Amino acid sequence: MVAHLGSELVRHALITGAAGMLGRKLAARLTDIDEVLLHDIVEPSAAPHAAYQSSSAASDLSSPGEAQKLLARRPELIFHLAAIVSGEAEADFDKGYRVNLDGTRRLFEAIRAIGDGYQPRVVFASSIAVFGAPFPDAIGDEFLCAPLTSYGTQKAIDELLLADYSRRGFFDGVGIRLPTICVRPGKPNRAASGFFSGIIREPLAGEEALLPVAKSVRHWFASPRAGVGFLLHAARLDTAPLGARRNLTMPGISATVGEQIEALRRVAGDAAARLIREQPDPVIQKIVEGWPRNFDARRAAALGFRADASFDDIIRAHIEDELRPQPS
């Protein structure tokens, strides 16, 4: 993965949000690093068969002094994934700003306070929620950030902070706007986008799934496998071509809910597709109407970021990674 950043050997890395789905998968794929500190609000588990020494810590990153503790070993590489999801940030305004904004600001400030030439690579997990309607047919790299949710607003502010702290030389930051990650394994979370995974994950497990929006709803997707690939590529990316524009929209797959269902039918058969039951939810429908649908992510693609080839491949990746027995 990452042996060097420029001429610097990566000896220590930090993953915040390491107990989350992407954090766990990222930790499992890291190589060529001596030590990794895994952090979250609950203590993360060590990655099985990790090729590095790992330690874990549980704390609230938004609390005073916690970020400083995580930086005690001066990690050369920091993956900042810690956040609460969109639905929860919309439901709890104070918590959303405390976790998604204050936690990020405290981490950035703790890095700046070290000084003494310390300038780690910071890979920040942003979101396509930084964009708000009305949208063009495909959102290009010049489209403005005008979010219509509190979550999107928090991520947009974080992007500005990352760009400014990088401009000032406090760290070397890359912000990656992740598509909606699908299919997410495990139990549903409080993300408003959770049904996008649910209508694939549950039928593949032989369970009924509820569809709260119209089949015509279109959205932007990437598999967990691709999402981890984006993070790893951002960690080793030459940031000189980015200039002051440190935040990138990741490539993905644009698909309607109906196209998702047809992909499920092609991969898993009619019986799986019949397990999806339409149950309209006006609250979810309203939130989704303000989300992006399609992107022209040519800047990230030119820098070497690669997405899934099709939604069928997204489903196949879920089957291979989550539903087939893994070697012990």
Whether residue 6 is predicted with pLDDT greater than 80 in this model: the reply is no
Residue 25 located in a structural domain: yes
Segment 13-35 mean pLDDT:
96
The yes-or-no verdict on residue 2 having pLDDT over 70 is: no
13, 65, 197, 236 from 30: Cα distances, Å: 10, 27, 25, 12
Mean pLDDT check: name the lowest of 6-10, 28-32, 57-61, 178-182. Answer: 6-10
Whether residue 173 lies inside any domain: the answer is: yes
What confidence category does residue 326 fall into, taking pLDDT thresholds of 50, 70 and 90? Answer: low
Nearest residue to 160 (alpha-carbon basis) of 64, 246, 218: 246
The yes-or-no verdict on residue 1 having pLDDT over 50 is no
- Residue 125 sits in a domain whose CATH number is 3.40.50.720
Residue 4 has pLDDT above 60, yes or no: no
Phi-psi region of 156 (alpha: psi -120 to 50; beta: other; left: phi over 0): alpha
Half-sphere exposure of 264 (CA within 13 A, CB side): 28
Distance (Å, whole) CA 300 – CA 296:
9
Q: Is the pLDDT of residue 3 over 60?
A: no
**Is 322 in contact with 185 (CB distance < 8 Å)?**
yes
DSSP-derived letter for residue 324 is S
Distance CA 288, CA 218 (A): 9
Tell me which residue has tokens 């920040």.
124
pLDDT at position 5, please? Answer: 58
Contact in structure between 32 and 55 (CB atoms under 8 Å)? no
Please check whether residue 93 lies inside any domain of the structure. yes
68 belongs to a structural domain: yes
State residue 8's pLDDT score: 61
Is residue 27 one of the residues assigned to a domain?
yes
pLDDT tens-digit readout, 133-192: 999 999 999 999 999 899 999 999 999 999 999 999 999 999 999 999 999 998 877 777
* Domain around 31: 9-178+224-250+296-301
- Segment 21-39 shows an average pLDDT of 96
Report helix, strand or coil for 277: strand
Into how many domains does the chain fold? 1
Question: According to DSSP H, which parts of the chain are helical?
Answer: 21-29, 66-70, 86-91, 93-96, 103-114, 150-167, 194-204, 224-236, 257-268, 270-273, 282-289, 298-302, 311-318
Q: What is the pLDDT of residue 290?
A: 78
Residues serving a catalytic function are 151
Question: Is 268 in contact with 204 (CB distance < 8 Å)?
Answer: yes
Among 194, 228, 200, smallest CA distance to 26 is for: 228
pLDDT band at 283 (very low <50, low <70, confident <90, very high): confident
pLDDT digits (tens, 9 = 90+) for 109-150: 999 999 999 999 999 999 999 999 999 999 999 999 999 899
Is residue 1 in some structural domain? no
Tens-digit pLDDT profile for residues 214-264: 999 999 999 999 999 999 999 999 999 999 999 999 999 999 999 999 999
282 inside domain: no
Residue 121: inside a domain: yes
The reported pLDDT for the residue numbered 190 is 72
Two tokens at 200? 């694939």
